Amino acid sequence: MRTDHDTPRPILLRRFGHTSAWKLALLAGFVTQLLLILFVTAIGLQQLGITTGILNEVVDVHMRKQNLTNTMVVAARERTLIMLMLTEIEDPFERDDLLTQFNRNGSEFAAARLALLSLPLNATERELIAQQGELTRFAQPLQSQVIDLISADLTEEAADLVVKRAVPAQNNVMAVLSRLDAETRRVALDASREARQDHRVARFWMVALSAAALLVGLIVAAVVFYFTTRISHEREQLATHDALTGLPNRMLFMDRLEQALIRAKRNRTLVGVMFIDLDRFKRVNDTLGHASGDQLICEVARRLRAMVRADDIVARLGGDEFVVAVSDVGMLTPILQVVEKMLAGVTQPYRIAERELFCSCSVGVSVYPNDGSTAADLLKHADAAMYHAKGTGRNRFQLYDTAMNAMAEERLQLETDLHYALERNEFVFHYQPQVNLDSGRIQGFEALIRWNHPHKGVLSPAAFLEMLEETGEIVRVGRTLLAVACNQAAGWHAAGFASLDIAVNLSSKEFWHASLIDTVRDVLAQSGLRPQSLQLELTEGIFMEDIDSAAERIQALKTLGVTVAVDDFGTGYSSLAHLKRFPIDVLKIDRYFVRDLPNSPVNTALINSILALCRGLHLGTVAEGVENRAQLDALRKLGCQSLQGYFISHPVPLDEVAGLLQRDWLPKLGAIRP
């Protein structure tokens, strides 16, 4: 009988596929409803827009037409009355007022007529306005004659002309204007009726389409309810399994482990819990991308599942962390055999993204009942053992012992303290001098980070640098300390030591961070330090993560004027073919080669080759790790330019640097004074 956690991955994928298909179907239904609602809204807005346009036309255009027509009628009537009154009035002042009003009415009439012609008119309206124009052209000269006769005080002749000819002509104009007024009223009434009809149509369509949208919504709701009920079991399955690998997740693993512990207690057997973490998995993600990382995770999951029995539990906790529980065993040996089998299986090569990859893992092991009686305790102790395995070299396993709890708690506390260290200004530099063998003087200092812990004292990078890398805080800390180093070097220059250089190490995260170039440029500008006095040290491994991009980034740093050194040269992955592509200035010979001088012919030959390479490429050299005079004399004979190490000085805090600068180094170096 197959249990849930034994379900093969293809079946899980088919479940996921079915779920996705139903999700797409439901999504299509919701989209259809949404589109229908949008369509209803669009139709309604369109119809309302049409109705609004017609109403606006009725209110605006047709009302304006009526007002303008009425203005013409009133103006024409008043001009007629004024002509009759002018023939009866003898007072010149009253006559002037009437003439002014007469002319004003004429202007109002003309303006109203022009405004009316600019509005949309039907054929009848245009014909009536044309008739009015013809009649007005006939009546206008008669009115002018009347005004001229009155102005000449020929009132009897003017009265005769008004009665017999001017008034009849004006009455003809008034008749046409009356017909025009009636026509504009009729058109306005028709437009109002049309607007009401369009409003009724718009309301009908909005009600009909809204009802259709409601019906579709009810159908979609019914489908959602039906399929939600149908896939509820699959949703529960997904909630207890890892989506990427199909393995049980933490919740299901803990439940199954508790059941295994109950059986083990009843049967007096052992349960082994193995916490597995892939070594340097982040490098795969950073180099090949998250898709390749996911493929590697899936392949590791497949191998782990194949290495254990059907009743054993394999789960993925997240990221690159897996956990395996082996139950119902009577001795420790079968548990350790599974662990060794997993270590060997995980290290076999992988084919990912058309590349062959190698991956190892660190395994922590806890055993019931010796290391805990609950699932939570066993998992916690296996995790602590895994960290111990990783800290002692990786690609190995570690059985849990009680001392690891204290180590794990100490690490957790250290991580907590580290979070606040930058805000509390607890990070400082210690400076190790680099001396020039030819001049016998200090040519510069390497700035080495230290943590001035409030309770533990000064801690070396080995205690905290890896944690800074893991959390990503290394970028923020490095940016702050780079500014400190540059400001300090600028201070030494101002104090009279103008030839001193300052060397600062860059981690991989700092080097590849997008803000690196801007950070270096800003720090140099703010400190006032000459760019050539700043030396940035990089390890070979950084270059090999992306050779082309690394060359471009180093060239960008060189454009700023800073010097670039390869730290720990000879122990990394670079070759001479790659080295010539990087515009570097200095090679730092690793202490590994210096350690056995002068008694190791092989190391002597290697250093001699490195120095010859540097001379050929015009690169500076610094030998690291010089701890005694014999090593110094051997390096001098080989022609090494500069060196640093405990024989010269340990890294010292800032307040001891002045003493180093004032010291006469020639006796220490054994150099011959010129």
Query: Could you tell me the residue range of the domain that residue 315 belongs to?
Result: 243-401
Q: pLDDT confidence of 5, banded at 50, 70, 90?
A: very low
For the segment 70-81, the average pLDDT, to the nearest whole number, is 81
What's the pLDDT score for residue 145?
81
Using one digit for the tens of pLDDT, what is the confidence trace for 459-481? 888 888 878 877 778 888 889 88
Residue 42 in domain: yes
Q: Which of 203, 228, 253 is the last residue of a domain?
A: 228
Task: Establish if 498 belongs to a structural domain.
Answer: yes
Same domain, 511 and 657: yes
- Asked if residue 310 is part of any domain, the answer here is yes
Q: DSSP readout, 14-46?
A: HHHHHHHHHHHHHHHHHHHHHHHHHHHHHHHHH
- 298 and 207 inside one domain: no
Mean pLDDT of 17-25: 58
Sorted by sequence, the CB contacts under 8 Å of residue 521 that are 6+ apart come out as: 560
Per-residue model confidence (pLDDT) at position 3: 36
Q: Are residues 311 and 454 in the same domain?
A: no
Residues 539 and 610 reside in one and the same domain: yes
Top pLDDT among 214 and 672 is at 214
Domain limit, last residue, from 198, 228, 258: 228
Residue 525 pLDDT level (bands cut at 50, 70, 90): very high
Least confident among 217-221, 348-352, 404-408, 540-544: 404-408
Q: For residues 557 and 498, state if they share a domain.
A: yes
Provide the greatest CA pair distance for the chain: 149
The CA radius of gyration of the chain, in Å to the nearest whole number, is 48
Q: Are residues 207 and 293 in the same domain?
A: no
Over range 343-371, report the average pLDDT: 87
CATH number (domain holding residue 548) = 3.20.20.450
Give a yes or no: residue 233 inside a domain: no
Say if 411 falls within a structural domain. no
Least confident of 128-137, 370-379, 429-438, 447-456: 128-137
pLDDT at 15 over 50: no
What is the crossing angle of helices 167-230 and 63-86, to 10°? Answer: 170
Q: Are 338 and 272 in contact (CB under 8 A)?
A: yes
pLDDT digits over 264-300, tens only? 999 999 999 999 999 878 777 777 778 888 999 999 9
pLDDT exceeds 50 at position 9:
no
Report pLDDT for 29. 64
| Alpha-carbon gap, residue 39 to 250, rounded angstroms | 48
- pLDDT(318) > 70: yes
200 lies in the same domain as 65: yes
pLDDT in tens, 141-184: 887 887 878 777 787 777 788 788 878 887 887 888 888 888 88
Residue 626 makes CB contacts below 8 A (sequence gap 6+) with 594, 632, 635, 643, 644, 645, 646, 647, 648
Given a cut of 80, is residue 62 above it in pLDDT? no
Local confidence band at 6 (pLDDT 50, 70, 90 cut-offs): very low
Mean pLDDT in residue range 296-317:
91
At which residue do the structure tokens 């944690």 appear?
467
Q: Which helix (H) or strand (E) holds 258?
A: helix 250-267
pLDDT at res. 10 = 43
Q: CA torsion, points 626, 632, 638, 643, in degrees to nearest 10?
A: 50
Let me know whether 301 and 326 are in one domain: yes
On whether residue 673 sits in a domain, the answer given is no
- Asked whether residue 175 falls in the same domain as residue 55, the answer is yes
Q: Give the closest residue to 15 by CA, choosing from 230, 226, 216, 299.
A: 230
Q: How confident is the model at residue 674 (pLDDT cuts 50, 70, 90)?
A: very low
- pLDDT at residue 17 tops 70: no
Q: Which of 177, 202, 228 is the last residue of a domain?
A: 228
What confidence tier does 81 reach under pLDDT thresholds 50, 70, 90?
A: confident
Mean pLDDT of the chain: 82
**CA atoms lying within 13 Å on the CB side of residue 426:** 19
Asked if omega into 653 is within 30° of 0 (cis), the reply is: no
Residues 369, 446: one domain?
no
Q: Across 384-398, 452-466, 498-512, 569-583, which has the greatest mean pLDDT?
A: 498-512
* CATH number assigned to the domain comprising residue 195: 1.20.120.1730
| Lowest mean pLDDT across 22-26, 436-440, 586-590 | 22-26
SS3 (DSSP) at 197: helix
Residue 1 has pLDDT above 50, yes or no: no
In a shared domain, residues 199 and 64 = yes
Q: What percent of the chain stands above pLDDT 70?
A: 87
Helix 123-151 and helix 167-230, axial crossing angle in degrees, nearest 10: 150
- pLDDT bucket at 673, cuts 50 / 70 / 90: very low
Which of the pair, 574 or 611, is modelled with greater confidence? 611
668 part of a folded domain = no
What CATH number does the domain containing 338 carry? 3.30.70.270
Q: Indicate if 261 and 222 belong to the same structural domain.
A: no
What average pLDDT score do residues 218-236 get? 73
Alpha carbon distance 154, 156 (integer Å): 6
Q: Does some domain include residue 413?
A: no
Highest mean pLDDT among 153-162, 269-278, 404-413, 549-558: 269-278
Instruction: Tell me how many domains the chain contains.
Output: 3
- Among residues 447, 554, 460, the alpha carbon closest in space to that of 503 is found at 447
